[in-house]
Structure 1
Amino acid sequence: MPQHSGLGGALDYLGERPLAAGSLLRVPLGRRDVLGIVWQRPAEGAEDPVDEAALRPIGAAFDGLPPLPPAWLALAEFAAAYYQRGVGELALSVLPPELRKLDAPALAKRQARLIKRWAREPKDAFAASPERPALATDQAAALAEFEALRAQPQPAPMLLHGVTGSGKTEVYLRAAESVLDAGRQALVLVPEINLTPQLEARFAARFPGRRLVAMHSGLTPAQRLSHWLAALLGEADIVLGTRMAVFAPLPRLGLIVVDEEHDPSYKQQEGARYSARDLAVYRGHLERLPVILGSATPSLETWQRAQQARYRCVPLAQRIGGGVLPRVRLFDMGVLPRPSGAIDAAPIVFAPPVLQSLHERLARGEQSLVFLNRRGYAPVLHCGACGWKSGCPHCSAWRVFHKRERTLRCHHCGFSERVPRGCPDCGNLDIAPLGRGTEKLEEQLAAALPGARIARIDADAARGKGQLESRLAEVHAGEVDVLVGTQMVTKGHDFRRITLVVAVSPDSALFASDFRAPERLFALLMQAGGRAGRDAEAAARSEMWVQTWHPQHPLYAALKKHDFGAFATSQLAERQAAGLPPYSHLALLRAEARDPALAMAFLQAAAAAAAALPGADAVTVYPPVPASIAKVAGIERVQMLVESASRARLQRLLADWSPLLHTLRAAHKGLARWAIDVDPLAI
């Protein structure tokens, strides 16, 4: 049941015959006929007596489907308890939406058609595999460690700490081959949809006799259902997907891979706010199978566990094929002449040595990547006469200026309007963009590098179907001289011709209020720099320029040496001194209402209720404060931080607190919604 219903447990129905736990069926709920899952009965003596005369009969069971595996049910139950959601809400939300629309006969027809199609598809178990590249010494050691872990009765998670371009994917492929040969299935998680096609192509090419299915939100409802059925029925040998795939029902699961395990995209931000990476580790523990966490810049939580020997850390220190990491050079923007005080005075976009490096790559026919993690033309339009700025009427944020579309668009609620002819407040016709996004950077590069072929990849340029693949193909084919992009182009792409990376304006994260901002910035810059120097012939002259106003910052000192260990050590010391994760455990109680006073009152009442609970002395509940972006789509957002040095004590308090919050919700009529976010990514 949904969390807002207040019903966290299973409902009882009357059945004519026993059904195994995990069976899918239709059941009546109120006036509706809904999808249901048969759940295991609670421990003996823990259930309330049931009046069978009051029970409603179940509908038709999906007899053609095998029950969901017991390990899947245990995973869903754990996730619901840990992230403070109803078990039915979580379990049903991770099933294909198309299942909710089908009755038993309709699903049986779908299933029969799929089985016929699978039978027609060539699936030769003896299909010739392509030639496999020879393993480097580090890769061979990593695979030997994997096999040793796999042989253990309870394998520890393995952190594959490999620099960009060190061949982590080949280790994934060999590990998957090992478990597939043993008759098991492999689950491979990637952080974003745009990384799925290229990794899927590599797995498909390596395993031509195996069935591989994808799981992500970019699939059609029919595709999601057919791929889910292939997994449940054991037809899929490899499942590759984004965070939702951690709940793929795999009866013969033998391996879980989490690529780029540090990526924040693994944390769900709506509904049940689960971390797919953490659930992958728990699933591995539950099913006693190996989990590989791969990253050049692991999350600090993962790194700390590896240092404590709770995870097995396996390094891949060398790039494959003789490539080397680019030389990192910092340019102090403070030494450049400042622009005049006029609002439209153009600041210097590229420092002279950076511009010279771009010209050199252009002359040699090499490619460059210019990285700016801000899309649009400019973050805001500004009137110099009266001070007006292009704020969003529905959010506590600016509307971004998109020049090609001539629109002002809010990136939080989506509200969009045409750019006004003059200032809406004073009528001044001279309104100017402030700041810089990738669209403006593309324009400035075209002016600075006449004749250069410039392409841009961001969420705006790759919005249409096939646009991202088309742009990437142009880059790989050498049809682009300079690629401008956001973080979309910094992860997982093997650009062989790029020898120069330029990071523009990365400093904003250095002094952000979010304690994870430096960690994310370091990972982004390391990933961006890793796009250069992948070809051995050009590796020696590959470099990364970082234009910064704070060249002495310790983060940049570690970046220059490609020394993640030093950066992680300093960050962990700061976290320990401040009592922040992983040295403490956090949850956020979020409340939303059109009137912020209503949300604040709910949180204050919740804090008072928490203070009266057993174990409250081991948990700190901080006063409620507005969220960093206080209003989105007309709804005011307030949050309250809950902290404890003990994960178990925090979980006990949250479990006792949650039923009281349902009661408080009923007493605060103006509240739009509330939610508990366990292990939040930002506070």
Structure 2
Amino acid sequence: MTPGPDDPDRTRSEARGPEPDQLGADGPPRRIARVVVEVEPFHLDRAFDYLVPDDVEVVAGQRVQVAFAGRSVRGLVVEVGDHSEVPPARLRPLKRLLGEHVWVRPDELGLLRWAADRYGAPLADVVRHALPARTVDVERRAADAGWFPPGTARRPRPDPPPPAADVDAAWAVYGESGTELRAAVAAGAGSFLWRPLPGEDVAARLAELAQLCLAGDRDVLVLVPDPASPVADAVVAAAGDLAVDLRGGPSPRVAYRRWLEARCGIARVVVGERGAVWTPLERLGLAVVLDEANPAYKERRSPRHHARDVVLERARRAGGVGLAVATVPSAVAWRLLRERRVAPVTPSRDAERDARPRVRVDTGEGEPRARLTRASWRSLREAVRAGSYGVLLASRRGEGRALVCGRCGERTACPVCASSLALHGASVSCDGCGWQAPRVPACPACGERRVVPLAAGAARLGAELRRAFDVPVAVLEGYGQPAPDPPAVLVMTRGSVLDRPPGPVGAVVLPDLDGSLRRPSLDAAEDTLRLAMTVAAWTVHGRVRTSPGLVVAQTREPDHPAIAALAGWDPGAFWRAEVQQRAALRFPPLAHALRLDFGADPTGDLEALRAALPAGDDLLGPVPVDGRWQLLLKVDDRAATLAALRPLREAWSTDDRDVRLDVDPVDAW
């Protein structure tokens, strides 16, 4: 089957030969464990054969410690048999079992293999993400408490769900699609994309779905993009003792205990960030990913998976419901909608129009150039006078970097990749591709070399607003920062935007939509619109306000599809327009994107790459980025391209070259 652990680079053809009787002709056949060893090199992405000692009982799914290339490492048993293609003299015994329980069950192993194939990653990398570190004392204490090993404890019963009439009334605005979702959660299956009504109490609705699923004796997984999520708080509170909360990166000991609680069935609701997507549950009935387009769900290390995709696939394999929640769907989710692989759950268009925030698109035309227009200042002052929050969403932390011409306002762009330039003393550089120049280039519109920041960062905006307001002005630049009591002005960045507001919001100002739309990333437009609509909806949160606050969107591009969609509260219109623009560029959702990241200049590899890739694949680059070199592939058949790349990647790995792959990257470069 596979090479032995002392010769990991030996090919499969070289390992063929021994017959089963060579392993034990004079006695019972020796047992062979095939182990995925947790090592990093891509060319070692296969199972290795080990002898199972006579006094050891081992089954597929158990974790073991083995000797590998002179080291003691962990591995996962994926198969147990009675023969091997490796000569008996080269087989090494398992060193020891890491716990008597099964860590990965057959259906779960299938999911791990799917993730490895989907993202072109070694199975060992997926295993490392999926399984926590073992703590023996946690197992001992769990056994003393009577709920370990798995199968020991009785399955706990949930509280009764809320009255059906109340739930029906809360979901009535979603019509037949809402009814189908709730029926599937109660006792069915399916994949859904839910676009909540503006101002919807998403926390209450998801808590209702969780209780409905538990009442059907099925379990719940809820992923949130940030640890301070109020929606997660509501789900945990509704589930009570049945929930384990994995948010915030608990210590390895606590994480293992909570993982064991889920593995043993005494936890029936798991809530966490993207890492919780692998946590086992006995009978998964509902898997939710809140704000599915949030870039926080994209793993930055191999296998570089996206939690949304894993959630939907995991629910499908379990025969449950996969639910993605989004105001503005990602490119991947939009493609799934077009292919009818997920069903939309949306309010009626009339209800959405009635509930949407008041959005004013303000170009500042005819006004002196300033960071905030008159309408923005007026809306913030009216909000604090009414005793509520005025919220200003900054596009960056700190002081701000992107530059524009000091005379005409034209953006100072990189001549290589058209990204915004940043000033470093007298010189300028591009954060997108690394281009540098000793002095600011002349403005192509007016010839001026004097530049000013396109938009201030949160810290600078906060300092300026404190001089203008006599109420607290708080700069919130990260998760979990408390807001002062209203009235107050909150200067926020994306990291402090939660799934519900900190209190009543009377005004939202979006001063730098243009800078956000120009970011050098594949998802810049939809991500900007998603964030803007999330914060704008704070002005109508709870669906009970009779006089919603004002949202002021400052822009010099009022006709941009994202700006038009915000004003009309119509993400569908955004994607219809955006798809037309992306068709000429062949960008997602019309094609798949893959990015190869090299530690050294890959120019010498381009000929081999072009020869290996399927016909029709586009290869762009290489582009230098932060000391590395990147290539972007635009492909129609992702699986075919990954298969074509595999021999090259194995050769690069064998040569110890630092090459990384990102399937469906968030950033273009």
TM-score range with shorter-chain normalisation?
0.7 to 0.9
C-alpha separation between the residues in 1 aligned to 2:84 and 2:604? 31
* 1:619 aligns with one of 598, 617, 620: 617
1:363 equivalent among 385, 393, 400: 385
Q: Which amino acid aligns with 2:336?
A: R
Residue 557, structure 1, aligned to residue 568, structure 2:
no
The residue number in structure 2 matching 1:203 is 235
Aligned to 1:680: 665
The match for 1:643 among 624, 634, 637 is: 634
- Cα deviation for residue 141 of structure 1 reads 4.2
Find the counterpart in structure 2 of residue 423 from structure 1.
none
2:155 paired with 1:170: no
> Does the alignment pair 1:23 with 2:62?
yes
After superposition, what is the alpha-carbon deviation per residue over 1:251-293, rounded to whole angstroms, capped at 9, x for unaligned? 3222111111111111111232111111212222222221011
CA contact (8 A) 2:119 2:304 kept: yes
Q: For residue 146 of structure 1, what is the aligned residue in structure 2?
A: 181
DSSP-derived class of the 1:39 partner: strand
Counterparts in 2 of 1:456 and 1:318: CA distance versus 1, 3 Å: farther
For residues 44 and 246 of structure 2, the distance between their equivalents in structure 1, rounded to whole angstroms, comes to 30
Residue 41 of structure 1: how far off its partner (Å): 6.1
Alignment of 1:398-417 (within 5 A): none
1:204-353 correspondence runs (5 A): 204-208=236-240, 210-216=241-247, 218-317=249-348, 324-338=355-369, 348-353=370-375
Distance change in 2, residues 1:217/1:40 (3 Å): farther
After the TM superposition, which segments of 4 or more aligned residues of structure 1 sit over 6 Å from their partners?
121-124, 128-133, 318-323, 396-401
**Aligned AA (1:654):** L
C-alpha distance in structure 2 between counterparts of 1:580 and 1:441, whole Å: 35
1:436 partner letter: A
Q: Tell me which residue corresponds to 2:130.
A: 94
Deviation at 1:502, TM superposition (A): 0.6
* 1:377 Cα deviation from its structure 2 partner: 3.2
The alpha carbon displacement at 1:618 in A equals 4.2
Cα 1:21–1:257 change in 2 (3 A) is: same
Question: How far apart are the structure 2 equivalents of 1:398 and 1:228?
Answer: 45
Deviation digits for residues 610-641 of structure 1, max 9, x if unmatched?
A: 3443x633433334122xxx22xxxx111112
Q: Matched residue of 1:573: which SS? A: helix
1:66-107 CA-to-partner distances (Å, cap 9, x unmatched) read 3422121111112122222221232023322x32xx5xx556
Q: 3-state DSSP class of the match of 1:166? A: coil
1:59 is the counterpart of 2:57: no
1:109 has 2:140 as partner: yes
Change (3 A) 1:335 1:207: same
Q: For residue 235 of structure 1, what is the amino acid of its counterpart? A: I
Root-mean-square deviation over aligned CA pairs? 3.6
Residue in 1 that maps onto 2:214: 180
8 Å CA contact 2:244, 2:267 repeated in 1: yes
Secondary structure of 1:194 counterpart: coil
CA contact (8 A) 1:454 1:480 kept: no
In the aligned structure 1, how far is the partner of 2:333 from the partner of 2:454?
39
2:667 corresponds to which letter in structure 1?
A
Residues 1:115 and 1:454: Cα distance change in structure 2 (over 3 Å)? farther
- 1:662 corresponds to 2:661: no
Q: Please report the TM-score for the alignment, with normalisation by the length of structure 2.
A: 0.79
Is 2:196–2:202's contact at 8 Å kept on the other side of the alignment? yes
Aligned partner of 2:226 in structure 1 is 192
2:475 alignment partner, one of 432, 438, 456: 456
Maintained 8 Å contact 2:392/2:490: yes
In structure 1, the residue matched to 2:75 is: 36
Change (3 A) 1:513 1:5: closer
- Residue 260 of structure 2: SS of its match in structure 1? helix
- For the 8 Å contact 1:157–1:311, the answer to whether it is kept is yes
Indicate conservation of the 8 Å contact 1:591/1:638, yes or no: yes
Give the conservation status (yes or no) of the 8 Å contact 2:119–2:662. yes
Q: Which residue of 2 aligns with 1:388?
A: none
Contact 1:498 1:532 in 2 (8 A): yes
TM-score of the superposition, structure 1-length normalised? 0.77
Q: Quote the offset at 1:130 in angstroms.
A: 7.5
1-side partners of 2:148 and 2:156: how far apart?
15
2:499 corresponds to: 492
Whole-angstrom CA distance in 2 between matches of 1:214 and 1:137: 31
In structure 2, distance between residues paired with 1:123 and 1:479? 45
Partners of 2:534 and 2:663 lie apart in 1 by: 28
Shift of 1:331: 1.7
Kindly indicate whether the alpha-carbon contact (under 8 Å) linking 2:293 and 2:328 is maintained by their aligned counterparts in 1: yes
Does the residue aligned with 1:40 lie in a helix, a strand or coil? strand
Find the aligned partners of 1:550 and 1:623 in 2 and give their Cα distance: 29
Identity %: 25
In the superposition, relative to structure 1, how do residues 574 and 76 fare at CA in structure 2: closer, same or farther (>3 Å)? same
How far has the Cα of 1:58 moved from its partner?
Answer: 1.3
Q: Which SS does the other structure have where 2:93 is aligned? A: coil
The CA distance in 2 between the partners of 1:220 and 1:625, in whole Å, is: 39
Shift of 1:400: 10
Give me the whole-angstrom Cα distance separating, in 1, the residues matched to 2:621 and 2:399.
38
C-alpha distance in 2, partners of 1:307/1:5?
A: 34
User: CA shift at 1:243, angstroms?
Assistant: 1.1
- Aligned positions of 1:366-377 closer than 5 A: 366-377=388-399
SS in 2 for 1:258: strand
